[in-house]
Amino acid sequence: MSESGFMRGQPGEAGQSDVIRFLSSMTAYTGIDAGAQIESMPACCDQAVATGVETISTHSARLFLTGRHVFKIKRAVTYSYLDMSSLETRRRLCQREVELNSVLLPDIYLGVVAICRRADGSLQLGGEGKPVEWAVHMRRFDESLVLDNIARRGALDTRLAGMMGRSIAEFHAGLQSEPVGDGCDRIREVVIELVHELNLLQGQFDRDRLDSFSRYGMQELESMAHRLDSRACDGFVRRCHGDLHLRNLVLHEGVPTPFDALEFDERMSTTDVLYDLAFVIMDLHYRQLSRQANSTLNQYLLYSTEGMIDGLSLLPLFLFCRAGIKAMTSAQRASLEESASRNSGRDAVDYLDLALSYLNKTPPVLVAIGGLSGTGKSTVSAELASELPGVSGAVLLRSDSERKRSMGINETDSLPDDHYTEEASRVNYRLLLRKAERALKAGQSVVVDAVFVDAGQRLGIEQCAREQGVVFMGVWLHAPVDVLRQRVASRVGDASDATISVIDKQLKTDTRTVSWCQVEATGARESVYEQVRDAVNRQRDERKAH
């Protein structure tokens, strides 16, 4: 279901009543010889139909679910952003929907089928006669695998959220850059339209909230105008999904996969890829899944080009717009649907408050987590990243993951020993410093997870914080050697390739002079993390006091 548009307007569907009744009846789906009619209708369709037809209505479509198949028609509605009153427009949009989504899920989006009126006045799917409506034909998938439903069950953990971030990054990487130079104008249109639409709904919001939304939104837009245009010139504006929230992602063959891409507005969906990503990040925030949002963002960055980090300065504005759109659509739904008005009205206010919170920025910080292999740096770093200042926590830079991604392989694939030379380590360390600097310049907090046995590397990361004018906190994890060896020996599917021999080599370096806050890392994970968090907070308070 699209949540990206502006919904002012009234539906006019009287002419579709016959089609709706027809598709709601089991008789529509029996006795079809699809092979002779239309390619998208398999001959076995009649055998796949269950004992009833389930219907779902959205503001722009009606779906008819029959056993293993789905038929989706466009509603003959007119909104301020979309006119689907003509049959030809609905046919064209059905074709465009299949064109866009069959790339993402070719075994789900099967084609477009006509609903035809025969000479005797009866209707049929495909076949001879005059087309009176068009439907997208889909193979039905298990709705329990939609990410929205997974989240509702409490099963959307940080691992799955990270998979989602990687999947979206790979989807965006496969899109062609659009030669546009109006990156700012595209977002300005969104902000101006939001301000206008929300003011039409002022009965559902107090005046102070609306004034704050308009004032702070326009201020943020103007302050980011040059960066928006630069991103467009650098190729980050692409024909994206356009409606990328949890209800439009499904776990398909074990991979979170987008579907139901926005088909009706090319300009609205041709936008900065980070604006596309912002919808699902905001959706996670609204559901109080901040750790999952941070994991999604960091895996997205890990599997994107390095230049993506520079665009993070735009993330507060993008999240502000996405939450503003949800505030508007929730308020409009409350005004149109009396039965849902109470919940939708509360949602509208909550979304508007969330939008405003994104522009309440806090200064970034830089945290370095060091220690020998097996001390649990990566576990505590990932947890800490979601709690540090920032609209979606901190950027997490893990040395093992960054090393592998810079070489074009998956973070859990193993590298041969010749990639772990001293020179290779120096190159990887410079990469960590460069990325940390770019993220801090973009206003994002950073957590760097690395061994840091080299004193020069520790000094270098501290210097990075000083040069960027941000507070630095260093934490050193330590544990007995036998504990480290046991942990490393039992690792499976981890980004680190460290072995017991690597630990023995690290032990030859004198770490007694490490000045960072020391934390014993032999207890339970929760206990170690609490100590790390307390150490970081204590150092931050001390730095602020000075």
pLDDT-based confidence at residue 158 (cuts at 50, 70, 90): very high
Q: List 446's β-bridge partners, or say none.
A: 366, 395
DSSP for 66-135, please give it.
Answer: ETTEEEEEE--EEETTEE--SHHHHHHHHHHHHHHHHHH-TTTEEEEEEEEE-TTS-EEESSSSEEEEEE
Residue 252 has pLDDT above 80, yes or no: yes
Q: How many residues does the chain have?
A: 546
* Contact (Cβ atoms closer than 8 angstroms) between residue 268 and residue 262: yes
Question: When comparing pLDDT for 439 and 503, which is higher?
Answer: 439
pLDDT value of position 522: 92
Asked if domains 147-359 and 365-545 share a fold, the reply is: no
* Contact (Cβ atoms closer than 8 angstroms) between residue 204 and residue 345: yes
Residue 50 has pLDDT above 80, yes or no: no
Q: Please give the average per-residue pLDDT across 19-29, as a whole number.
A: 92
pLDDT value of position 417: 66
pLDDT-based confidence at residue 545 (cuts at 50, 70, 90): low
Question: Alpha-carbon distance 8 to 328, whole Å?
Answer: 10
Residue 520 has pLDDT above 90, yes or no: yes
Q: Please give the average per-residue pLDDT across 303-319, as a whole number.
A: 97
Q: Write out pLDDT tens, residues 368-385.
A: 999 988 899 999 999 999
Residue 47 has pLDDT above 50, yes or no: no
pLDDT-based confidence at residue 339 (cuts at 50, 70, 90): low
CATH of domain 365-545: 3.40.50.300
Question: Alpha-carbon distance 276 to 290, whole Å?
Answer: 18
Residue 44 has pLDDT above 50, yes or no: no
Question: When comparing pLDDT for 504 and 130, which is higher?
Answer: 130
Question: Alpha-carbon distance 442 to 314, whole Å?
Answer: 8
Question: Alpha-carbon distance 246 to 244, whole Å?
Answer: 7
3-state secondary structure at position 470: coil
Torsion of CA 238, 300, 390, 226, to 10 degrees: -20
Question: Alpha-carbon distance 429 to 399, whole Å?
Answer: 7
Which residue, 254, 214, 26, is CA-closest to 125?
26
Residue 351 token pair = 């979304």
Place of tokens 């659509």: 329
Cβ within 8 Å of residue 44, ≥6 positions away: none
Q: Write out pLDDT tens, residues 344-371.
A: 788 999 999 999 999 999 999 999 999 9
Q: Say what percent of the chain tops pLDDT 90.
A: 70
Question: Alpha-carbon distance 522 to 402, whole Å?
Answer: 26
For the entire predicted model, the pTM comes to: 0.90
Residue 199 has pLDDT above 70, yes or no: yes
**Rounded (5°) CA angle 382-385-391:** 140
Q: Please give the average per-residue pLDDT across 462-473, as a whole number.
A: 97
User: Of 246-255, 281-290, 500-509, where does mean pLDDT reach its minimum?
Assistant: 500-509
pLDDT-based confidence at residue 341 (cuts at 50, 70, 90): low
Which superfamily, per CATH, for 147-359?
Aminoglycoside phosphotransferase (APH), C-terminal lobe (3.90.1200.10)
Residue 508 has pLDDT above 90, yes or no: no
pLDDT-based confidence at residue 32 (cuts at 50, 70, 90): very low
Domain residue limits, the chain: 16-25+43-140, 147-359, 365-545
Question: Alpha-carbon distance 34 to 30, whole Å?
Answer: 11
Residue 253 has pLDDT above 90, yes or no: yes
